[in-house]
A and B are shown apart, each in its own frame.
Chain A
């Protein structure tokens, strides 16, 4: 690794000066037509991190332990997808509850309705969920009105956002809130999204939901996200609706997370 006298340091590419205007990978320089080694390996590392996040195992037991230590009960359910490969191929199965899981929820609900069902789901980045979801869930539950009846927190494996609907319905919830791992990007593999659905039941569409996205330590911090989400929950409950009809007067509601231009990207 010593300095090589035959290879003087390569001067910075003239366009590197423009990196202050954009996070795009400009001014990388080239060797022949190809990427210099360091830039090639930088990219490979970012992609590897994203791939690992997609396939990371969901630590439902660890999350349950953290929540239970704070007096928060949990239930564990599965979608019909069953494994990761099926989950990626069959989004329809990730939106449906496995048959045993419906029974789990009915037993957990003990026939009573509730104001809020909070669901923690692996989604496309279990890595993000393992990192932030337990603390974020606990923080949100501290901020909602004490009078609210809250169902046990549901930990859902191989889940898509729309699994909130059968889960929320089985628990008789007025509002379902799902914290779910977002599709990892090259600059961030640890992004969490929060989806709120008023009167959840199978057949709801994305237009019926509100989303807060890019929740991670380098983005919308979990602390700030908890405040925003709790505010959104309270407004949804008082207005009795969610989705496009729930206008946001504090800039809280974000669009589709995969192409959300509103939040921008924080400097890495």
Chain B
């Protein structure tokens, strides 16, 4: 190996193998070359990483943001640590000490240390570093696992969407958000869906937040027209060029953040943003600047944490096998994304998912879901029967959420839990009651969905 490798090349070659880095021509050519790169990366100091931006700040606002966020004071005590020493420290440190480094750490430092960690390290360290946020519910507390109800419908049919929401609520899901990917991205369509959720939750007196995952500019138009917008959604990535391919920049996000804050709709907190990310997004937009896909993903978290989001999730297996080929690569990427986000103070959830052309199946998703439950993941998706009939991929189901909570003794967000206990969905200990005590009939009656049909 050339001794004068740039940090960018060293990071790419040290990255655990995945198809996207091979597609980009950045991966190590042999297993041994990869480990040699990891050994060398372990000796690089955190100060050296700070001093060698992977994408020049002059041409990239995400790089400028990363430098502007960096706190030299809290960095002073760790600047001379090597990446290897940083790993050793993380394994032994407590959560509070790790959290104190939030603004000392840059995405590149966190990505670097993840590359020399095993899955077990990623789980053990992330589990210690809780990130708690709130709007109408409080998400991310220890011992809790929240769930987004994802009630998508190919034509945004209101009754079809409402039917999927009810099914989720009777499983005790929805405490992260009721979040719909709209088939049509327009202010009118977004408003219809927001009012549908608002109406349904008022009938049921259910304390949740809603989100229609339309473009940020659509949400801005909705807010101007006084639609009931709780959370503003946007897909984000780790370079200015990649964000431009999504039709956004930082100032648009800032404007939307301020507009949503001004609505003051949260009851227990004021985290009003919801972001999605995913490895491979920058490469697919030809906006990766020769940086490996896991490091590019971690840079997106600098964008996320700038706006104090309630929720962020990586959509880890959605992008397809040319970026993450099989279950093994998807599982690794899910754990990396969760770990890196938590170290940067981002409230990370994971869309544990796959497409039909990936070498993955339900068993791989069971494995990743269980690992993330152990790692203290903030939330997962709940899709009826795992089958998203609008986006045409498979994610975790309401059943999967119930499995994870039961098996790992995790509970819903406290505000939602109290509501679900009142409804008889959960027992006094916060556990989903037996199938024989299913409360669907009551929910259906109170929703008046059949009467309105």
Q: Are B440 and A15 in contact (CB under 8 A)?
A: yes
B321 and A43 form a contact (CB under 8 A): no
B214: shortest Cβ distance to chain A, in Å? 13
Contact of A91 with B435 at beta-carbon distance under 8 Å, contacts A47-B356, A54-B356 already known = no
> B23 near A24 (CB under 8 angstroms)?
no
A34 and B356 in contact (CB under 8 A), knowing A22-B163, A261-B390, A264-B154?
no
Q: Would you give the shortest CB distance from B107 to chain A, in whole angstroms? A: 27
A28 and B184 contacting across the interface, CB-CB below 8 Å: no
> Does residue B371 face the partner (Cβ distance < 8 Å to A)?
no
Query: In the docked arrangement, what's the CA distance between A200 and B1, Å?
Result: 43
With contact pairs A15-B167, A186-B387 given, residues A47 and B362 touching in the complex (Cβ less than 8 Å): yes
Say yes or no: B385 contacts A28, CB within 8 Å: yes
A185 contacts partner chain B, Cβ-Cβ < 8 Å: yes
| B265: interface (CB < 8 Å) | no
Contact count band on A? 35 or more
Inter-chain contacts of B154 with A (CB < 8 A) = 23, 261, 264-265
Contact B403 A33 (CB under 8 A): yes
Contacts of A13 in B (CB 8 A): 438, 440
Q: A17-B450, A183-B356, A183-B357 are in contact. Are A26 and B155 (CB under 8 A)?
A: no
Contacting residue for B385 out of A26, A90, A183, CB 8 A: A26
User: Which residues of the other chain, B, contact A24 by a CB distance below 8 angstroms?
Assistant: 151-153, 160, 163-164, 167, 383-385, 387, 389
Which residues of A are found within 8 Å of B441, using beta-carbon distances?
14
Contact with A along B424-453 (1 / 0, CB 8 A): 000000001001001011001000011001
A50 in contact with B356 (CB, 8 Å) = yes
Please, which residue of chain A has its CB at the minimum distance from the CB of B153? Answer: A22
Give the residue of B160, B325, B435, B440 whose beta carbon is less than 8 angstroms from that of A22: B160
User: Is B435 within 8 A of A27, CB to CB?
Assistant: no
Q: Which residue of B lies closest to A28 (CB)?
A: B385
Binds A, one of B78-86, B235-243, B391-399: B391-399
Who on chain A is nearest to B403 by CB? A33
| Contact (Cβ within 8 A) A25 B435 | no
Q: A14-B438, A15-B167, A265-B154 are in contact. Are A185 and B23 (CB under 8 A)?
A: no
Q: Does B249 contact A (CB under 8 A)?
A: no
What is A's interface to B at a CB cutoff of 8 Å? 13-15, 17-19, 21-35, 39, 43-44, 46-47, 50-51, 53-54, 88-92, 124, 183-187, 189, 258-259, 261, 264-265
In the complex, 9 of the A-B residue pairs with CB atoms within 8 angstroms, ordered by the A residue number, are A15-B440, A21-B160, A24-B160, A26-B164, A26-B385, A33-B402, A183-B355, A261-B155, A265-B154
